[in-house]
Chain A
Amino acid sequence: MAVTLTPPARARRVPDRHHRGVTRWIVLALVTAAALAMLVPFAFMLLNAFKSPGDYSTNGPLSWPSEFYTKGLRTYWEQVDFPVKLWNSTLIAGSVAVLAVLVSLFNAYALGVGRVRGRLWIIGLFLLANMLPQESLIYPLYHFAKEAGLYNTRLAVIIIFTVIQSAFGTYLLASVLGTFPRTLLEAAALDGAGKWRILWRVVLPNLRPTLSVLLVFFFIWTWNEFLIPLVMLIDNQTQTVPVALASLQGDRLMDAPTTNAGSLLSLVPAILFFLIFQRTLARGITAGAEK
């Protein structure tokens, strides 16, 4: 959006003046060095994920692997049953993304378009919910989940994050829908469309870009969540990718190369999402900051 606004003005380039010639190269060099420094931990991880434990203890963490050793990866893959963890994370994050967008849309439709009475208070409540530390909810959630037989189920985590993410979604969408063009809604109402039809035929198509940003964010946020899955999911069949790695941390079986191999495997999906959704992400962070 902002990008489309700026080019005409920027097209008229300021001619480079005096000091600019050298300075810009220095700036480029400094910023590039900082960016590379950001990536150093990943380089260390890659280097040691393909090293045998013996190689690591004799030659240390900085040496080039003496052989291309993949047993660490395979050990971790089998030990934690990685495909199950991937599926759990995907199922939880995917369901939460879709459900939370739906709940946010319904809430925001009532608040932004319907302008129900007391909406400012309700929106304030959702805003407040965004700030809460999860510690203030976790024990009752844990306790109730046990009572309801939902402890250690993915369903419990899906329900919890649907609500937590939709608190943000509602807050964001309600302000977007508050400025939704009334003329469109009235035209549809005059054509005899009811509220349900207006939501799906008029509001939804107009909101699609915003909703897709939300969908991606909810997915990634939920994928990366830690405290609630850590408390709620306790066995091999239900745990998520980050929880599986964290619960093996400090384990005797986790020598340095296996730790790195496990970290590598656990980061690959997130890095893929990052590459796939880079544009959406950049758009979304900005949206969040614009309110």
Chain B
Amino acid sequence: MAVPDTAVAPATPAPPAAATRRRRPSRPDAAYWLYLLPGAVLFLLVIGGPLVYTGYLSLTRWSGVGDPSFIGLDNYRNLLHDDVFWTSFQNTVAMIVAMVLLPTLIGLVLAAALFDTIGRRFRPRTAAALRAAFYLPQVLPVVVAGIVWGWILRPDGAFNGLLDAVGLGALRHDWLGDPDTALPVVMAVMIWVQIGYPVVVFMAALERVDPELYEAAEIDGAGWWHRFRAITLAQIRPETFVVGLTCTIAAMKVFGPIYALTRGGPENATNVPSYFAYYTFFKKLHVGYGSAISMVLTLIIVVISVLFIRAQNRAERRDRGI
């Protein structure tokens, strides 16, 4: 939203080149490089340099002291035979289901209900208050939320207490301690964490949609589902792309909730690449191996992002073409 705020007027074409050239005979943009200098130095120091160094370390064996010894692609070869590595990436798929797929679907329905029915047939204030409840977990430190959930799901925690209270005491369980239930339970917590983001973005997107479209469709006798599919989904596709991309990246990077809830356990049932890398770096002190895990994760994220952005551009071009 802030983007159009500043665009007071459409950018006008450049002034006659002659005028500019007379005033500034040297290359006009040279002085701007100075403004980029502090940012560029910091960037190289904190992001560029370390990334390259991690890439180098992934080709070495190193415990963090002494000199790394170069071993070529051995770490990567070992990764291919490492069950934990494959499990962690399988769990990433589960995280994508829990942090992208389900929140987007549920978020679409909730946003449509909040905007369409509650915002318009009741008061917009009501819709805003309900939206806040969904969004709240998004602004909290996710580790703290994870710790609260970790306690709720403990054997003596509130969830089992709740089961007792409603007469389902037979279902009491160590939810996070059992390899069979840990992953689904972590996924449920991640839906809770993530749901607010699509709700807020989609509600804002719906404000953009011309209400007359809905009115016209309604007059034509289109039902709710039909209007939802033909108008809502079509109109807010750009936002769906953005939500899909940002949430996918977030799902592949997820660390804090896993740290707080399960530390990747039990028996790696909830391990994810970022926790696996952290553990390999700082608990097992296999820095080279940890670097290889990180580089694979980085590569996958970059490739998926590029594919996403390409797909979006293609869709946009197709829309303009029609």
Contacts and interface: CB of A to CB of B under 8 A. Distances in A.
A27 B201 contact: no
A31 B42 contact: no
Nearest to A129: B47
Contact of A31 (B47, B110, B158, B192): B110
B149 A282 contact: no
B39 A278 contact: no
B295 A136 contact: yes
Given A32-B130, A115-B29, A182-B12, A227 B256 contact: yes
**Most-contacted residue by chain A among B5, B200, B246 (CB, 10 A):** B5
Contacts of A284: 2
B132 A163 contact: no
B143 A245 contact: yes
B212 A103 contact: no
B80 interface: no
Contacts of A44: 148, 152, 158
Contacts of A271: 136, 140
B26 interface: no
A290 B162 CA distance: 42
B42 A133 contact: no
B137 interface: yes
B121 A209 contact: no
Interface string A97-134: 00000011011011101111100001001101101111
A219 to B, nearest CB: 11
Interface string B21-38: 001000001011111101
A96 interface: no
Nearest to B196: A38
B122 interface: yes
Given A209-B2, A290-B1, A242 B54 contact: no
Interface stretch (A65-73, A74-82, A259-267): A259-267
Contact of B46 (A110, A159, A210): A159
Contacts of B156: 57, 60-61, 256
Interface residues of B, number: 115
Nearest to A13: B120
B4 interface: yes
Contacts of A167: 43, 47
B142 interface: yes
B43 A283 contact: no
Interface in A26-76: 27-28, 30-32, 34-36, 38-39, 41-42, 44-45, 48, 57, 60-62
A286 B200 contact: yes
Given A159-B42, A179-B7, A245-B147, A136 B36 contact: no
Q: Interface range on chain A: under 10, 10 to 19, 20 to 34, or 35 or more?
A: 35 or more
Contacts of B49: 140
Given A48-B158, A111-B36, A6 B207 contact: yes
B121 A20 contact: yes
Interface in A196-235: 199, 206-207, 209-210, 213, 220, 223-224, 226-227, 230-231
Nearest to A163: B46
Contacts of B78: none
Contacts of B10: 179, 181
Nearest to A265: B144
Contacts of A189: 23
28 contacts: A2-B1, A2-B208, A38-B195, A42-B148, A45-B148, A115-B32, A132-B298, A134-B255, A134-B274, A135-B297, A139-B57, A139-B290, A140-B54, A159-B45, A176-B2, A179-B6, A180-B6, A189-B23, A207-B6, A226-B142, A231-B282, A242-B143, A243-B143, A246-B143, A246-B147, A246-B259, A270-B139, A283-B2
Interface of B: 1-12, 14-15, 23, 29, 31-36, 38-39, 42-43, 45-47, 49-51, 53-54, 57, 64, 110, 113-114, 117-118, 120-122, 126, 130, 132-137, 139-145, 147-152, 154, 156-158, 161-162, 164-165, 192, 195, 197, 200-201, 204-205, 207-208, 210-212, 215, 218, 239, 242-243, 246, 249, 252-253, 255-256, 259-260, 273-274, 277-278, 281-282, 287, 290-291, 293-295, 297-298, 301-302, 305
Q: Shortest 8 CB-CB distances between A and B: which pairs?
A: A114-B32, A140-B50, A35-B133, A163-B46, A242-B141, A286-B204, A287-B2, A107-B39
Given A139-B57, A263-B148, 13 more contacts: A1-B4, A5-B207, A10-B120, A32-B130, A106-B39, A107-B39, A116-B36, A135-B281, A136-B50, A179-B10, A182-B12, A210-B6, A288-B242
